[in-house]
A and B are shown apart, each in its own frame.
Chain A
Amino acid sequence: MKDHDHALALAAAVRAAYDADAPLEIVAGGTRRAFGRSPAGAPLSVAAHTGIVEYDPTEFVVTVRAGTPMVALEEVLGRERQVLMVDVPRFSAASTIGGALAIGLTGPSRPYSGALRDAVLGARIVSGTGEILRFGGQVLKNVAGFDVARLMVGSYGTLGLLLDVSLRVARCADAEVVRDLALDWRTAHAALRRWEGALPVTGACYADGVLHVRLAGREERVAAACQIIGGEAGEPTLFHELRDLRGPFFSQPGDLWRLLVPSDAPWDPQETLIDWAGAQRFWRFSGDPQPVLEHAARYRGQAMRLLGADRSQGPWAAPAPATMALMARVKAAMDPRAILNRGRLYPDW
């Protein structure tokens, strides 16, 4: 992998944009530009800012530049039989770790090994004024200062330009299998509850009356777990497709919605795919989003439009006005002139 540090050039570019009051669209691999609203401004590419800053496999922490492609990072980790702690989507070989963090999606491993933000220990960023800042660190426990590193995850690049991040990594599983079980959703959910913490389940999704369970870990434990849960051998690549939003369901037309609900919410005919052991439901739905929002609200959940035809609509509906104003002030604290990805999450910032 190429090892290039462009931090100073990137900071200078942001500083110049700040001085000129000219917004920038942060890009790298360009595989996530369809997420969020259409931002204003000229593209500023982080793609050349690549390489591993520090990696000590015995610490299970890697510090990597944001422009590094996911596949290149995984190759480096793989040589030490390590992997990222959570499933992180990638949409082509060009997808970068910086882009993944900016959009902040976590794949099917979410209920079992945490969210992508949970794997973040620290970050170096360029603020909206062009300053290079470091938050967090390379250790698991760190309570000095506000947790700005974690705040960056899922902020769609609106709070800062990521330079490099320190991530927790994990040991690569010796064995991984997928088992399919024909069950109704209630029975499937109850089974997942029984297995959680007792069996090496690392992913569980439900579609068309079939529960798909991914088991991963040491050979002995995976073999024993297969015996216990039964079912039939499933498609080994299913969870990779799910992680990357590929496969038959994701090729259907319509806006792609995520509904985040309590995991025991009933199966709804509108949704064709349940992930995260029940807590994440995918819907294909276009037009007035009211039914989606109402469905989420019924279960005290949330709805997020992940991909939509109308780029004037953002991923998240505006929260209560006072909270919206608070978020706008947080944005202004990090990026006072709204230089970075202006309009990507919400209009005007």
Chain B
Amino acid sequence: MNENAEPNRRPWPAAFMRRLGRILPPDGLLQKSADVAVYECDGLPVYRARPLAVALPRTVAEVGQVLALCTEYGVPVVARGAGTGLSGGALPHPEGVVLGLARLDRIVALDPDCRLARVEPGVRNLAISEAAQPFGLFYAPDPSSQIACTIGGNVAENAGGVHCLKYGLTTHNVLALKFFTADGVLHEIGGPTGEAPLDLAALLTGSEGLLGVVVEITVRLRPRPPATVAWLAAFRSLEDAAASVSQVVSEGIIPAGLELMDSLALSAAQDYTGIRYPEGSAAVVLAEVDGDDLAVVLDGERLRAIFMAHGAFALQQASRDEDRRRLWLGRKSAFPAVGRLAPDYYCMDGTIPRRSLVPVLTEIAALSRRYGRPVANVFHAGDGNLHPLILYDAAIPGQLERVEALGADILRLCLRHGGTISGEHGVGVEKLDGMCAQFSAAELAVFHALKSAFDPHHLLNPGKAVPTPARCVEPGGMHVHEGRLPFSRLERF
């Protein structure tokens, strides 16, 4: 039965597989090695594992039955959407089932008058905005993977995006959830305004699949703003650019997006897209303001004044859709562009208070020199969410280890400045050690207690997001457990 079974894996009883097959549609159960291989990683491919099987239900009822069966046999379940996550949250359990929810892709209801949509978890993020477009509405959270990522995955990760400075994260845009606990029992929480006796939706959103499997999401839709203007300001120093960002927000302007790219990211984007940034740019700030015609004019005037005061030497603005797309193109394609500079890059996701942007970027540059690894910065400056991209070559022995050490130093730096180890990508398997640095043993114990309240047998995505107390043997600091890196056994690409 288990042609892909490895010697150290515990095979499941044949009865489990038979019953699983009966629950699912004919093409809904994958077991062959070649079939399950597609699911062995998510958007962070340094972590890979093959599940024993992949279940692809088509209905909510099937999801519940699969969960109940897995509970009966004590089989771990890793729920998965499009697999675009960046922290290994959908990494399969080697003795578990991957529960792929992409086929639950119906928009159940769209109510333009009440500004809400009820959708299944496999609906793509962008598909919601596309369905809402004819009514002049959109769904605001827009992670960069929005063309592919699913709303179920967005809920699991509390996904952000360029526009969350103004419109909030996923948690601010979810009104109601239907979810299964691990035992296959369905729960409904929230309502037309998101109120509830206990805000379980707040707990579920961003819980990385540890607490429940969400099968229907009611999201808030917003009217498309009548006017949108994008600004690009070029600076001769990264510090000036960062300082201008702090000032924009401190003056009370809330742009829909406020992004920063440094010189390494700019040159990568130029090479990749053919876009030309102003000659001599050490950093570029992109700002988008939206609202009524008057609001974008008033905000625009102030943006111009702030950028000029901080030494911007070139300013561009665009209001037509096509022109704005061009202005944003370099930013939107920055990750793949940077990906061409080196065989591998490691993307960090720390968040800091905006006032610390200048000192933290300066320290990251110093760390980059000390470790001898180039770091490109392209990030959501307006909300202090950094994405330093550390360039390296995994084929060179020892380089990944140095990059991970540099990454750990950057996260410690964020914590020292009052920030967090993950702004929007999640903890997954990647930042478990960082959790030990951010939370005390008592706080982690509460996370485990909450996990047990939802999932007493720890079958849902076990081992992710919240480290065990044993892993955090060195309180207050990242550490290498037993002299080994936590995932040194895993294949790397």
A319 touches B453 (CB 8 A): no
B351 touches A142 (CB 8 A): yes
Task: Find chain A residues with CB under 8 A from B420 CB.
Answer: 137, 139, 141-144
Known: A59-B355, A114-B172, A322-B185. A141 touches B206 (CB 8 A): no
Known: A143-B423, A326-B454. A333 touches B351 (CB 8 A): no
Give the residue of B384, B442, B449 whose beta carbon is less than 8 angstroms from that of A139. Answer: B384
Known: A140-B164, A145-B443. A60 touches B249 (CB 8 A): yes
CA distance A326 to B321 in the complex (A): 47
Give the residue of A131, A138, A150, A327 whose beta carbon is less than 8 angstroms from that of B202. Answer: A150
Task: Find chain A residues with CB under 8 A from B368 CB.
Answer: none
Tell me which of B160, B181, B194 has the highest count of chain A C-beta atoms within 10 A of its own C-beta: B194
At the interface with chain A, which of B65-73, B323-331, B431-439?
Answer: B431-439
B470 contacts the other chain (CB 8 A): no
At the interface with chain A, which of B75-83, B288-296, B391-399?
Answer: B288-296
At the interface with chain A, which of B110-118, B119-127, B232-240?
Answer: B110-118
Chosen A-B contacts, 7 in total, with CB atoms closer than 8 Å, are: A56-B353, A60-B249, A140-B169, A147-B158, A198-B225, A220-B294, A322-B185
B353 touches A322 (CB 8 A): no
Name the residue on A nearest B159 (C-beta): A143
CA distance A218 to B299 in the complex (A): 11
B207 touches A146 (CB 8 A): yes
A153 contacts the other chain (CB 8 A): yes
A326 touches B181 (CB 8 A): yes
Task: Find chain B residues with CB under 8 A from A59 CB.
Answer: 250, 353-355
Beyond the given A146-B207, A300-B192, A326-B181, please list 12 additional residue pairs across the A-B interface where CB-CB is below 8 A: A110-B193, A137-B420, A143-B420, A144-B439, A146-B466, A150-B199, A154-B199, A218-B298, A263-B192, A264-B113, A302-B191, A333-B449
Which 9 residue pairs are nearest across A and B when measured between Cβ atoms? A171-B252, A58-B250, A333-B449, A329-B453, A141-B423, A150-B202, A262-B114, A197-B223, A316-B197
CA distance A329 to B449 in the complex (A): 9
B187 touches A147 (CB 8 A): no
Task: Find chain B residues with CB under 8 A from A316 CB.
Answer: 196-197
B246 contacts the other chain (CB 8 A): yes
CA distance A145 to B158 in the complex (A): 11
A221 touches B431 (CB 8 A): no
B199 touches A151 (CB 8 A): yes
Task: Find chain B residues with CB under 8 A from A337 CB.
Answer: none
A221 touches B298 (CB 8 A): yes
A107 contacts the other chain (CB 8 A): no
Name the residue on B nearest A147 (C-beta): B202
In the assembled complex, how far is the CB of residue A152 from the closest CB belonging to chain B, in whole angstroms? Answer: 8
A224 contacts the other chain (CB 8 A): yes
Chain A interface residue bracket vs B: 35 or more
Task: Find chain B residues with CB under 8 A from A301 CB.
Answer: 191-192
CA distance A220 to B292 in the complex (A): 12
How many A-B residue pairs lie within 8 Å, measured between CB atoms? Answer: 235
Give the residue of B116, B185, B197, B466 whose beta carbon is less than 8 angstroms from that of A145. Answer: B466
B383 touches A302 (CB 8 A): no
Query: How many B residues face the partner with a CB closer than 8 A?
Result: 85
A323 touches B192 (CB 8 A): no
Contact indicator per residue, chain B 447-468, by CB within 8 Å of chain A (1) or not (0): 1011011100000000000100
B291 touches A197 (CB 8 A): yes
Give the residue of A133, A171, A189 whose beta carbon is less than 8 angstroms from that of B442. Answer: A133
B419 contacts the other chain (CB 8 A): yes
In the assembled complex, how far is the CB of residue A35 from the closest CB belonging to chain B, in whole angstroms? Answer: 13
B421 touches A146 (CB 8 A): no
B422 contacts the other chain (CB 8 A): yes
B298 touches A322 (CB 8 A): no
Contact indicator per residue, chain B 170-194, by CB within 8 Å of chain A (1) or not (0): 0110000000010001111101111
Give the residue of B158, B188, B442 whose beta carbon is less than 8 angstroms from that of A131. Answer: B442
A114 touches B200 (CB 8 A): no
CA distance A148 to B295 in the complex (A): 36
A145 touches B452 (CB 8 A): no
A260 touches B195 (CB 8 A): yes
Name the residue on B nearest A194 (C-beta): B223
Give the residue of B172, B418, B453 whose beta carbon is less than 8 angstroms from that of A330. Answer: B453
